Amino acid sequence: MTVTPMPPLPDEGLNALLAHYAAGHLPLPLHGLVAGHLVLKPDNRAFVAALETLCAQRLELEAPDAGIAPAILSRDAMLESIFATEEASFERTSSKVSGLVPDPISILVGDDLSKMKWRSVMPGLKEFRLPDRGECQASMVWVKAGRAMPSHTHEGTEITLVLKGGFTDTSGHYCRGDLAIADSDIDHRPRADEGEDCICFVVNDAGLRLTGPLARWIHKLTGH
Amino acid sequence: MSTHQQLGELVLAVANSRDRAAFAQLFDHFGPRLRAYLVRLGSDPASADEILQDVMTTLWTKSHLFDPSKSSIATWLYRIARNRRIDTLRRDRLDFFDPMEAPEIVAEDIEVDRKIDMQFREGRIKESLMILPEEQLSLIRMAFFDDLSHSEIAEKTGLPLGTVKSRIRLAFSKLRRQLETNGVIDAGSEN
C-alpha cells in the first residue's frame, strides 16, 4: 500500500506529549507541567480526556483473563483498613487557577515566588532548580522583561510552560498557559516580552521519546 | 460483567449511604484491573498494593466528588491511580490535583444547547473515539500505552515505518476534529 507522505504537523510533538501524559508515562515534574497546562488552558482537555477514556477502557477489557490481574491476596485486610479510614472533610479542593502557579506545579515548587531559592544565572535571569530526578531536570526560570536568554541547546527535550508574561523564539510567541517544546537540535534564544517579566516552569527530559520533527535527537540515536 | 450503569449505581450507593457491600463490589471489579495497570507500568507488587489501597480509600472517602456527567467511574479511578503512581515520590500527602477536576470556564455567550452538551462529556468522547478504525486505535495503544517506539511497532505489525508514523498522525488529527464536531470542547480560558 502506498502512503502519501504527509508534511509534519506542528502539533505532532504536542500530541505525543499529551498521549504519554494520559498513559501515565511521564516523570513527576513533567506530568505536573502538562497538568498545569491543562488547568490554565482548557483547549487540550477534551483530547486528553479522550485518551484517558481509551486507557480506562483498555483496563476494562484486558484485565480479567490471561492472569494479568492476579487476585489481591490481602483483599479482606485492605477492605477493613479502608472502611476504618476517617471520612475526609468533604470540602472540594478548589484549584488555584487564578494563582500564578497552578496546583499541579505548586505541589512541587510551592506557590510563593519570594520563598523559592532563586539563584542568579546572569543579569536579568534567575533560576530555582529542583533536585534532579534521573534524566529529568526541572526548574522555575525568571527572565526580566525584554531580556533574551543566552543561546542554548539541550541534551534532551526541553518543555516550557509559561506562568507569567510571555516570550518569543524562532518557533513562535508563547503566553501564560502555553507549552513550548524544543528538541536538542533547536539552538534557541527565547526573548521575554517587553513590559512584563516572564516566569516559566521548565522541564528538561533526556529520556523523553516524542515523535516527529520536534524530537530528531531520537532519530539520530536510533539511526532513522 | 458489570455494566457502566450498574457500576455508577454502586458508586451512588457508596456516596449516599456508605454502602460497604456496594464498595466491596467496586473493589472486586476495579482492584485487580488497577493493580494490573500499576504493575504493567513498573510498580513492584508491594507498592502496587499500597497505591491501590490509596486509590480505593479515595473512592471510599471522596466518592461525592465523582461527577458522573463528566466521566465514567473507570476513567475517574484510572486518573487517580495514574497520578498517585507518578506522585509516590513526594512525601507529603497533598493530593495531586487532576486538571480534569478544574472548573470549566464557560464563556458567557455560548448558547444553552452547547452548555447542556458539555455535561455529557464521556458519552460524546466515546462517540468520537468510535470513528477511529480499530487498526489506528491499536497503533495508538502500542505507541503510547505500551510505550513502544515506532520502529518496534513497525517490526511487530509488519507495516513500514513511515506508515506507522503517518497513521498515528492521522488518527490524532481525526480524533481532534471529531471531538470538535461532537462539541466536546472546553470553551474559554481564564482570560
Quote the CA–CA distance of B11 and B27 in Å, as a whole number: 11
pLDDT at A199: 97
A141: which strand partners?
A127, A200
pLDDT at A6: 42
Asked if A36 and B181 count as a contact pair (C-beta separation under 8 A), the reply is: no
Residues forming CATH 1.10.1740.10 domain(s) in chain B: 1-97
Q: What angle do CA A58, A63, A69 make, to 5 degrees?
A: 145
* Nearby residues of A68 by Cβ (< 8 Å), 6 or more positions away: A62, B36, B40
**DSSP β-ladder status, A172-175 and A166-169:** antiparallel
Cell of B188: 474559554
- The pLDDT-based confidence of B185 (bands split at 50, 70, 90) is low
CATH number 3.40.50.1860 given to B1-97: no
For the beta carbon of residue B187, count every other beta carbon within 10 angstroms. Answer: 17
Segment A84-101, tens digit of pLDDT? 987 654 444 554 455 899
Q: Is A74 touching B (CB cutoff 8 A)?
A: yes
Cell of A198: 516572564
* Range B121-191: architecture per CATH: Orthogonal Bundle (1.10)
Segment B26-61, tens digit of pLDDT? 999 999 999 989 988 888 888 999 999 999 999 999
Helices marked H in chain B — which ranges?
Answer: 4-17, 20-40, 45-62, 73-86, 112-119, 121-129, 134-140, 150-157, 161-181
pLDDT at A67: 47
Inter-chain CB proximity A58 and B170 less than 8 Å? no
Strand order in the sheet with A125-129: A119-122, A125-129, A136-143, A198-205, A157-164, A179-182
pLDDT at A125: 94
Task: Name the residue facing B161 among A49, A87, A224 (closest C-beta).
Answer: A224
Residue A40 CA, distance from chain mean position: 12
Q: What are the start-end ranges of the E strands in A24-165?
A: 119-122, 125-129, 136-143, 157-164
* Closest-CA residue to B98 (of B124, B126, B75): B75
Inter-chain CB proximity B103 and A81 less than 8 Å? no
pLDDT at A10: 54
The whole-number average pLDDT for the span B148-162 is 93
Q: What is the mean pLDDT of chain B?
A: 84
* Closest-CA residue to A165 (of A178, A184, A150, A152): A178
Q: Is A97 touching B (CB cutoff 8 A)?
A: yes
pLDDT at B190: 40
**What averages of pLDDT result for each successive group of 10 residues across chain A (224 residues)?**
45 90 94 95 92 90 52 82 74 58 91 93 93 86 92 79 94 93 76 96 81 39 37
Inter-chain CB proximity A6 and B166 less than 8 Å? yes
Range scoring the smallest mean pLDDT among A16-30, B88-102, B153-167: B88-102
Residue A169 CA, distance from chain mean position: 19
- Alpha-carbon gap: A99 to the closest alpha carbon of chain B (Å): 11
Task: Name the residue facing A46 among B101, B105, B184 (closest C-beta).
Answer: B184
Q: Which of residues 37-66 of A touch B (CB under 8 A)?
A: 38-43, 45-60, 62-64
Q: A11 or B13, which is more confident?
A: B13
Task: Name the residue facing B94 among A19, A22, A107 (closest C-beta).
Answer: A107
Asked if A170 and A177 count as a contact pair (C-beta separation under 8 A), the reply is: no
Inter-chain CB proximity B32 and A6 less than 8 Å? no
Asked if B172 and A9 count as a contact pair (C-beta separation under 8 A), the reply is: no
Inter-chain CB proximity A53 and B20 less than 8 Å? no
Q: Is A7 touching B (CB cutoff 8 A)?
A: no
With H, G, I as helix, E, B as strand and everything else as coil, classify residue A90. Answer: coil
Residues forming CATH 1.10.10.10 domain(s) in chain B: 121-191
What pTM was estimated for this model as a whole? 0.86
Q: A189 or B189, which is more confident?
A: A189
Strand order in the sheet with A166-169: A172-175, A166-169, A191-192
Task: State whether ipTM is beyond 0.90.
Answer: no
User: What's the burial of A160, exposed, middle or buried (CB within 10 Å: 0-12/13-18/19+)?
Assistant: buried
pLDDT at B20: 96
For residue B151, pLDDT beyond 60? yes
pLDDT at A9: 46
Cα-based distances in Å from A29 to A185, A208, B152, B156: 23, 12, 27, 32
